[in-house]
Every structure is written in structure tokens, then in C-alpha cells.
Amino acid sequence: MLTGIRLISEAAELAARRHTGQQRKARADEPYINHLAEVASLLSAASNGEDAELVAAGWLHDTLEDTETTHDELAQRFGLRVAGLVEECTDDMSLSKSERRQKQVEDASKKSPGAKLIKIADKISNVRARIFPNPTQAQRDELADYVDWAEKVVAGCRGANATLDDLFDEAVANARSAM
């Protein structure tokens, strides 16, 4: 079983390979891997670098919904905890966007502590990516919509990590001042 730096490195490599060519939704000129790196970095900081499985799951958190990667593949390569965290953070893509969003709000408080941390880190990264200098009205509207929804999801995850809670609040404050 992989551990420590090797676990994280191999998760980062798989994430990079599986997300090749994908761009961020909020910033079409930015490679998607930047989002995964930011989420993993936030999780590393939140765990003081002491939870390699959490950081690896941060790198991989979108692989099940955005790529052909399977739960079994993740479990075999990275262990059951990593695969479980990724699965817990995976949206059901057969649902409409509004249904997926509502399900995230409803399910947030029921997540495991690790999945809550991934959800908060993901929302921090996504809010930050939607803040533009001199935004258009459409960008302001999209940011306001995203922040309102992200706050509802994170409300169900709060208390799992004070650092991430504070960073989310900071991202929201920065977003509100950019609107």
C-alpha cells in the first residue's frame, strides 16, 4: 500500500493524466489541474501535512465524475479510505445541475469529517476562481449565485477545521467585495 509522499505523488500524477486537456469552468484559460492542486494544498495545510490520504483524495476528488476512473481503480491503487472520500465527494451526474446542487446542500452535514474538509476546500478554490478584476455583470451574477449556493453547502460542513472555515469566509468576503 502506498503511503506518505508516494501516495500523494501518484495521486497527483493520476489526476493530471486523467484531467489532461480539461479547463476550469470559471476560468476557461486555466488548466483544471490547477484547481486540484489548490484543493490538495488547502487540505495539506489544514491537516498540517499529516494526512496523506486526505491530500491524495483532494487531488482525485473529481476523477469519478469527470473522467473514466472507477471507484475500484482508486481503491486498488490508493486504498479504501481515499476511494471512499472521492466517492463521497462525487456528484451524481445523471441529475440536473439544480438537483445536484440541492443534493450537495442536503448531504453536506452527513459527510464524513474528511469529505467535509474536501468539500470546503473545493468551494474555497471555486469561489476564488470566480473573482475577476473588473468583472462583467454576467461574471458578478455568476459569482453571486455560486457564493450563495457554496455558503449553504459549507454550512453543513463547518466545524471540521477552523483553518478551512476561516479561508472560506475570507474567500466569500473577497467575492462579495468584487460583486
Counts of helices then strands in the chain (DSSP H, E): 10, 0
Dig out the grid coordinates for 177 from the structure: 467585495
Under DSSP, is residue 96 helix (H, G, I), strand (E, B) or coil? Answer: coil
20: cell is 489532461
In the residue annotation, 68 being an active-site residue is answered as no
Of the candidates 42, 43, 54, 45, which has an alpha carbon nearest to the alpha carbon of residue 81?
A: 54
* Residue 152 one-letter amino acid: K
Q: Pick the catalytic residue: 10, 51, 65, 169?
A: 65
Number of CB atoms found within 10 A of residue 5's CB: 11
Active site (annotated) includes residue 66: yes
Q: Which cell numbers hold the place of 12?
A: 497527483
Residue 46 CA: distances (Å) to CA of 41, 54, 116, 133, 154 = 9, 10, 12, 28, 15
**Catalytic residue of the set 10, 51, 66, 91:** 66
Q: How distant, in Å, are the alpha carbons of 34, 57, 95 from that of 151?
A: 22, 22, 21
Task: Please tell me the distance from the alpha carbon of residue 36 to that of residue 59, in angstroms, as a whole number.
Answer: 5
Q: Which residues participate in catalysis according to the annotation? A: 65-66
